[in-house]
């Protein structure tokens, strides 16, 4: 591994780690970027194995890591590239199921400790679901430690056969909303005007347009909101395979919903919103929920996965798939400014309970220290 400045104790060589990413999750990539910066500042050598596009998006090299391009593929060439990249590592840390499975293949029985972080739960149906269960079992049993970002992921790892599964201290370096101290309402008004939400409530949803996102339920609820005066506008930022299906419904049913595609100005959109709506089928530590609470925008979210323990009492929680309950929660919240202000106050308290980036790095490094022995200089 290429040299990196080290603060390692006298008489020891720096810990050499490899972070393995599949490149499919913005959340796990952002976590690895933050983790890399913290580890490097503590004298740890970090090599990040990820697709080139992931490095372009998250600049692992700029954080002090050596980046090695490894395609998001399980073919023999990719596994061989990963095996070569891990050859001198003291420890390998894989993020996500597919990245972890490739790491298991690449290590091939070596004694190099493998840490796996499960950031989310991979869902599938039929034969693919059976295959994923087999991959989970193989990864869980091969890892020295499995870190789950939510309690239910930790429980799942234990049921799958993990020898050591723990709750991870994970924070995502979220996009912070911009603030104009001279005129804090100016940007908000401009964004609302650009979106066509002047004089009407603005609801924001962000996420991939797929089955996991639950956007069909959001459209079902939007039919109810057409009866309000003024009619709320729902803005959905994101792309995905269901875009054409959702757009057709919006047009056919004349729903007050706009699909605006991928956006780089999500913080500005959140700042302009009256409510944020999260309708997912399952989430771990939802980036949108974190950003909404950081921005002090009232959140209505499905009570799934790790969302309840993430948001506590700082959001309105609804069951997944129930458009009537979702619609009712939104209508009540729009009509109750005191409740919205209470949620804003609670969001400040709740975000203060989340681990900081510093605490996240310290927790991961403590796991590394458990699994590695002092490395005397040659």
> What distance in Å separates the CA atoms of residue 39 and residue 21, rounded to the nearest whole number?
16
Q: How many residues does the chain have?
A: 378
- DSSP H or E stretch at residue 277: strand 275-278
> What distance in Å separates the CA atoms of residue 9 and residue 22, rounded to the nearest whole number?
33
pTM for the full predicted model: 0.84
Query: How much is the pLDDT for 128?
Result: 82
In 3D space, the residue among 341, 339, 329, 346 whose CA is nearest the CA of residue 232 turns out to be 329
Query: How much is the pLDDT for 23?
Result: 61
Q: Hey, what are 69's tokens?
A: 């391009």
| C-beta of residue 295 within 8 angstroms of C-beta of residue 344 | no
SS3 of residue 357 by DSSP: helix
Q: Hey, what are 332's tokens?
A: 């009540």
State in Å, rounded, how far the first CA of the chain is from the last one: 16
Kindly give, in sequence order, each residue whose CB lies less than 8 Å from that of residue 34, ignoring residues fewer than 6 positions away.
171, 172, 173, 357, 360, 361
**CATH (residue range 16-171+356-371):** 3.40.50.2000
Could you read off the pLDDT tens digit of each residue along the chain, which spans 378 residues? 644 444 555 446 899 999 999 865 677 888 999 999 999 999 999 999 999 999 998 999 999 999 999 988 778 899 999 999 999 999 999 999 999 999 999 999 789 999 999 988 877 777 888 888 999 999 999 999 999 999 999 999 999 999 999 999 887 665 455 545 456 678 889 999 999 999 999 999 999 999 999 999 999 999 999 989 999 999 999 999 999 999 999 999 999 999 999 998 998 999 999 999 999 999 988 989 999 999 999 999 999 999 999 999 999 999 999 999 999 999 999 999 999 999 999 999 999 999 999 999 999 999 999 999 765 554
* Alpha helices (H) along the chain: 26-41, 52-58, 76-85, 97-107, 126-142, 151-160, 184-195, 215-225, 243-253, 266-272, 287-294, 307-311, 323-334, 337-353, 357-371
Query: How much is the pLDDT for 172?
Result: 62
| C-beta of residue 243 within 8 angstroms of C-beta of residue 259 | yes
| C-beta of residue 50 within 8 angstroms of C-beta of residue 60 | yes
Q: Hey, what are 28's tokens?
A: 């796990």
- The domain segmentation of the chain, as residue ranges, is 16-171+356-371, 184-353
| C-beta of residue 197 within 8 angstroms of C-beta of residue 234 | no
Fold match between domain 16-171+356-371 and domain 184-353: yes
Instruction: Provide the CA 29 distance to its chain's centre, in angstroms.
Output: 8
Q: What's the CATH architecture for 184-353? A: 3-Layer(aba) Sandwich (3.40)
């Amino acid at each position: 591994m290429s040299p990196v400045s080290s603060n390692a104790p006298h008489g020891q060589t720096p810990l050499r780690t490899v972070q393995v990413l599949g490149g499919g999750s913005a959340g796990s990539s952002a976590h690895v970027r933050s983790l890399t910066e913290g580890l490097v500042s503590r004298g740890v050598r970090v090599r990040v194995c990820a697709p080139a596009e992931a490095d372009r998006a998250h600049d692992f090299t700029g954080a002090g890591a050596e980046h090695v391009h490894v395609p998001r593929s399980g073919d023999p060439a990719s596994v061989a590239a990963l095996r070569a990249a891990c050859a001198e590592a003291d420890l390998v840390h894989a993020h996500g199921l597919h990245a972890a499975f490739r790491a298991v293949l690449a290590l091939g029985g070596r004694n190099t400790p493998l840490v796996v972080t499960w950031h989310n739960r991979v869902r599938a149906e039929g034969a693919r679901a059976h295959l994923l269960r087999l991959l989970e079992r193989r990864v869980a049993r091969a890892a020295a430690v499995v870190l789950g970002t939510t309690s239910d992921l930790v429980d799942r790892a234990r049921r799958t056969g993990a020898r050591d599964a723990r709750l991870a201290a994970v924070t995502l370096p979220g996009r912070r909303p911009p603030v104009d101290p001279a005129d804090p309402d100016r940007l908000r008004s401009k964004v609302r005007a650009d979106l066509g939400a002047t004089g009407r409530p603005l609801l924001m949803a962000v996420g991939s347009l797929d089955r996991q996102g639950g956007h069909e339920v959001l459209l079902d609820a939007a039919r109810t909101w057409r009866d309000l005066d003024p009619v709320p506008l729902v803005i959905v930022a994101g792309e995905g395979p269901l875009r054409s299906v959702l757009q057709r419904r919006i047009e056919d049913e004349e729903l007050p919903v706009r699909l605006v595609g991928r956006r780089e100005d999500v913080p500005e959109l959140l700042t302009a919103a009256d409510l944020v709506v999260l309708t997912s089928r399952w989430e771990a530590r939802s980036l949108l929920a974190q950003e909404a609470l950081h921005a002090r925008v009232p959140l209505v979210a499905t009570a799934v996965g790790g969302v309840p323990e993430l948001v506590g009492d700082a959001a309105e929680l609804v069951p997944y798939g129930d458009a009537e309950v979702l619609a009712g929660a939104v209508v009540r919240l729009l009509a109750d400014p005191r409740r919205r202000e209470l949620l804003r106050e609670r969001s400040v308290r709740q975000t203060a309970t989340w681990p900081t980036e510093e605490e996240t790095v310290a927790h991961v490094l403590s796991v590394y220290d458990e699994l590695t022995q002092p490395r005397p200089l040659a």
